[in-house]
Amino acid sequence: MRNAVGAVDSVLVLGGRSEIGAAVAERLVRDGARRVALAARGAADSAGIAEVAARLRAAGASEVHPLEFDAARPETHAAVVEAAAELVGDLDAVVDAFGVLGDQAAFEADPAAAAAAATATYTGHVSAGLAVARRLREQGHGTLVVLSSVAGVRVRRANFVYGSAKAGLDGFAQGLGDALHGSGARVLLVRPGYVRTRMSAHVSAAPFPATPGQVADAVAEGLRTGAETVWVPRRLRLVFAGMRALPRPLWRRLPR
């Protein structure tokens, strides 16, 4: 449950090594969260998870638990969610932060790799999201924070494997939010633009870039205000309203 001042008290991060997921967890800890579960592949023996855990403890977390989580094994996702709840209690916020950006040219040369990336970026979220939704519905409260992307708002030639997976995730999150309406649980859909992380280091920066910290601030505000969707930065909402209206021949001519 939320603590005495209404702040999130427990957090589960699916994709515990994600720089954005870690930044969101750290921000929520600074706002009052005290119990965190970090779920990632090889979490128990991961130096990356240990580093994130140390940051969270330094920020004020009293408990940080690593959990094994593999996006490509949907049959295990419900058990991961239940294990997290056993460790930290009711889940106030679940941050859905896993995925693969990859390289479009490499995907076109290796369709199997493209399919594996799409599994991590979209289909793994379906099983994980439904498992989380069931838990939150049973609790009668809690928020699933889905890290989507403006890449899914209108898919570009330059990254259409990633963009199409994010488009699917975006639609899934909206539908899941509607399904949870009235249950006490909800979905917060987050649409960042280009975010500077290790995963995106090989990609040229797009206009209006953001940092993991800025995404975390937007998530914290969205949780506080009960928002359904947040854009990071906010101006991208207007930018993409215009981009949606571009005729397809013009859209194809945008720089790759």
Residue 122 falls in the annotated catalytic set = no
Q: Which residue, chain included where needed, has tokens 């309406």?
A: 181
Q: Residue 207, SS3?
A: coil
Q: What is the DSSP-derived secondary structure letter of residue 183? A: S
Contact between 118 and 36 under an 8 Å Cβ cutoff? The reply is no
Among the listed residues 162, 130, 163, 166, the one whose alpha carbon sits nearest the alpha carbon of residue 148: 166
DSSP code for 143: E
DSSP at 151: G
The three-class DSSP label of residue 110 is coil
Q: In what order do the strands lie in the sheet with 229-232?
A: 63-68, 35-40, 10-14, 93-96, 142-147, 185-192, 229-232
Pairing of strands 63-68, 93-96: unpaired
Catalytic residue among 107, 162, 172, 194: 162
Closest to 51 (Cα-Cα) out of 18, 73, 96: 18
Residues known to be catalytic? 162
